[in-house]
C-alpha cells in the first residue's frame, strides 16, 4: 500500500480535542446568524468529528416550525450561503438527527418551561450528560430578558450533573452604562466563568497567531517596544456599505460597531505583556492591563485624537454607489459616523510615546484588515549615495484577506552602483499550510464546548473598551456640520490624513 502523503509544513501540528457531549440551545434560531454561521459551523465540526454523536441543537424562535421543517431549512440555508462547499449528505443526515425546534416568545415565562421540558427529554434520548450551552443569537434588546428568564426557569445550572454556559453576541451594550447594566444582569444569574462574550474577530487564525508570533519567536519580542518601534497602524477597511442594516447602523456607527470591540481586542494582543501561561485568565489579565494603560482622551481635546467621517456617493470597485444618507433606513440628515481614525497612547514602560493609529470605515477603497508595525529608522545613515532614500522596516500582519505576515527590509540591487530597494519577505497561510483556515465560529464554538474562554471577552475588557470611547461619543453627540466628508471608494476624510501627518508620519499605501 502506498504511503499517505502529508504536507511537511503541517507535520507536528497538534490534533484538536473532541468536545464532550452537549446540548446547544440557540435563541433566535430563525435569524441570519443561525443559518449563515452557527449551524454550518457546528456541521463542519461534526464533519471533522470534533463533536460527538451525543450532541443536540435546539432552536428557539417565535415562528411555528416542526423539527423536520427546521432541519430542512438549515439544509437549504447551508446550500444557499455555502455554495462552493458541497454538503456530504450522509454526514448531514446524521448531524440533522440532532436538530430540534421549540417555538416560544422570549418574553413569556411559559416558553422557558416548555423549553426546559423538551430539553430534558432530548438530553435523555441524545445522552448529552446534562451539559448545556445557551446561545443568544437575538437582537441585543433581548439579552437581559432572556438571561433573567433562564434564571427564573432554573435553567442557568445543570445541577449536580454537567455544566451550563451562555454565549452573548455583540453588541454588548450601547454605551458604558448599558454594558455595566447588562453585566450586572448576567452576574445575577450566571457566574462569570459561565459567560462567554463572543467576538468573531478573535476566532480568526491570524489574530490567534499574534500570540504565537510574539511569544514563540525569540527574534521579535526583544524589539517589541518603544526603543525600536516608531508607531503602529491598525487598518480595518470595508468596501461594502451598511448592506440593508441602515436602521441598526444609525444607532451604532463604526466607533461602537467595530472599534470598541474588534479593533480594541486586536490592539490588546499587540500591546500586552507576555502572560504567565496560556490559561484563559493569564492571557486576559495581560490584555486588560494593556488596555487600562490607554491614555484618557479629554472631551475638550477629542479633535486632537479622533476624526469621524461619513461616506457620500462615489465609485467602489468599479460600481457607482449612493452615499450613506441615501441608504435605506438612514436619516437624510444623519450624523452617524461610517469612518473613524484614532490616535491612542499607552502610558506604560513598553509603549511610552509610541502612537497607535487606528482607522476603520465602510465604503473605502478595498476590504482589508492589517496591523503594521513601523520600526524606527537606522540611527546613522551610511548609504547617502544610494539612489533611493532608506525606508524604515515594516512588519505587516494581514488579518483578512490573504492572511499572512510580511517583513519589509532594504536590499542592494545587483550592479556596480549602490542602489537600494525595499523588498518583502512573505508568509501566507494558504500556500504554506495547504489548508483553508477554519471559520471563526468553528473555533469559538469548539472552545466554548471545551470550556476554554481565552478567545472570549471578559467583563472588565468590555467595560474598559466603553470607558475609552465614552469621551469621544460624548463629544460627537453634536451634529457633524461637514457630513458627508469623504467619497465612497476613497481612504476616508482629509482630516484622517491630517491626524497622522501633523506628527510627521503617513498612512501606509495599501
Long-range contacts of 279-285 (CB under 8 A, 24+ apart): 279/454, 280/452, 280/453, 280/454, 280/456, 283/211, 283/454, 284/453, 284/454, 284/458, 284/461
Name the CA dihedral angle for 458, 179, 270, 499, rounded to a multiple of 10 degrees. Answer: 180
Q: What is the separation of C-alpha 16 from the centre of its chain, rounded to a whole number of angstroms?
A: 22
In contact, 169 and 136? CB cutoff 8 Å: yes
Beta bridge partners of 102: 60
The helix (run of H) or strand (run of E) holding residue 23 is strand 22-27
Beta bridge partners of 315: 320
Q: How far apart are CA 135 and CA 484, in angstroms?
A: 38
Q: How far apart are CA 297 and CA 295, in angstroms?
A: 6
Supply the DSSP symbol for 504.
T
Supply the DSSP symbol for 117.
H
Q: Got the DSSP string for 329-380?
A: T--TT----SEEEEEEEB-STTTTT-EEEEEEESSBSS-EEEEEEEEPPPSS
Q: Counting every residue, how long is the chain?
A: 510
Q: How many CB atoms lie within 10 A of CB 387?
A: 11
Among 504, 472, 238, residue whose Cα is nearest residue 366? 238
Which residue in 174, 200, 262, 380 is the catalytic one? Answer: 262
Cell triple for residue 33? 446568524
Terminal Cα distance for the chain, rounded = 50
Respond yes or no: is residue 262 known to be catalytic. yes
Active-site positions read: 262
Amino acid at each position: 500500500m502506498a504511503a499517505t502523503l502529508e504536507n511537511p509544513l503541517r507535520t507536528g501540528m497538534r490534533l484538536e480535542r473532541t468536545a464532550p457531549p452537549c446540548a446547544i440551545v440557540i435563541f433566535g434560531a430563525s435569524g441570519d446568524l443561525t443559518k449563515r454561521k452557527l449551524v454550518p459551523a457546528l456541521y463542519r465540526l461534526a464533519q471533522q468529528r470534533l463533536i460527538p454523536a451525543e450532541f443536540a441543537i435546539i432552536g428557539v424562535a417565535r415562528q411555528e416550525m416542526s423539527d423536520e421543517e427546521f432541519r430542512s431549512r438549515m439544509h437549504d440555508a447551508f446550500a444557499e450561503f455555502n455554495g462552493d462547499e458541497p454538503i456530504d449528505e450522509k454526514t448531514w443526515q446524521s448531524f440533522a438527527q440532532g436538530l430540534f425546534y421549540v417555538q416560544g416568545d422570549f418574553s413569556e415565562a411559559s416558553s422557558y418551561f416548555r423549553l426546559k421540558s423538551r430539553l430534558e427529554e432530548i438530553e435523555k434520548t441524545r445522552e448529552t450528560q446534562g451539559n448545556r450551552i445557551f446561545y443568544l443569537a437575538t437582537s441585543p434588546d433581548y439579552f437581559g430578558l432572556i438571561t433573567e428568564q433562564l434564571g427564573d426557569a432554573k435553567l442557568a445550572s445543570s445541577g449536580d450533573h454537567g455544566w451550563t454556559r451562555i454565549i452573548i453576541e455583540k453588541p454588548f451594550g450601547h454605551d458604558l452604562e448599558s454594558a455595566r447594566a447588562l453585566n450586572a444582569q448576567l452576574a445575577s444569574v450566571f457566574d462569570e466563568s459561565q459567560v462567554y462574550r463572543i467576538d468573531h474577530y478573535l476566532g480568526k487564525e491570524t489574530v490567534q497567531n499574534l500570540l504565537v508570533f510574539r511569544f514563540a519567536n525569540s527574534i521579535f519580542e526583544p524589539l517589541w517596544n518603544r526603543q525600536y518601534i516608531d508607531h503602529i497602524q491598525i487598518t480595518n477597511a470595508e468596501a461594502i456599505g451598511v448592506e440593508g442594516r441602515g436602521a441598526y447602523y444609525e444607532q451604532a456607527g463604526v466607533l461602537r460597531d467595530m472599534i470598541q470591540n474588534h479593533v480594541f481586542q486586536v490592539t490588546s494582543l499587540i500591546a500586552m505583556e507576555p502572560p504567565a501561561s496560556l490559561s484563559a485568565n493569564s492571557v486576559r489579565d495581560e490584555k486588560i492591563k494593556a488596555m487600562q494603560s490607554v491614555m484618557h482622551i479629554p472631551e475638550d481635546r477629542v479633535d486632537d485624537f479622533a476624526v469621524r467621517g461619513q461616506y457620500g456617493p462615489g465609485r467602489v470597485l468599479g460600481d457607482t454607489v449612493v452615499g450613506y444618507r441615501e441608504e435605506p433606513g438612514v436619516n437624510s440628515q444623519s450624523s452617524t459616523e461610517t469612518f473613524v481614525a484614532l490616535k491612542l497612547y499607552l502610558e506604560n514602560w513598553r509603549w511610552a510615546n509610541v502612537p497607535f493609529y487606528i482607522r476603520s470605515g465602510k465604503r473605502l477603497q478595498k476590504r482589508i484588515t492589517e496591523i503594521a508595525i513601523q520600526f524606527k529608522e537606522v540611527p546613522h545613515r551610511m548609504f547617502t549615495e544610494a539612489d533611493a532614500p532608506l525606508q524604515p522596516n515594516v512588519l505587516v500582519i494581514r488579518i483578512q484577506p490573504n492572511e499572512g505576515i510580511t517583513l519589509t527590509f532594504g536590499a542592494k540591487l545587483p550592479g556596480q552602483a549602490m542602489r537600494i530597494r525595499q523588498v518583502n519577505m512573505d508568509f501566507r497561510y494558504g500556500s504554506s499550510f495547504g489548508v483553508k483556515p477554519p471559520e471563526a465560529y468553528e473555533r469559538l464554538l469548539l472552545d466554548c464546548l471545551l470550556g476554554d474562554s481565552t478567545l472570549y471577552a471578559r467583563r472588565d475588557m468590555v467595560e474598559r473598551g466603553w470607558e475609552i470611547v465614552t469621551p469621544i461619543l460624548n463629544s460627537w453627540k453634536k451634529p457633524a456640520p461637514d457630513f458627508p466628508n469623504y467619497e465612497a471608494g476613497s481612504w476616508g476624510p482629509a482630516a484622517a490624513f491630517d491626524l497622522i501627518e501633523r506628527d510627521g508620519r503617513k498612512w501606509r499605501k495599501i
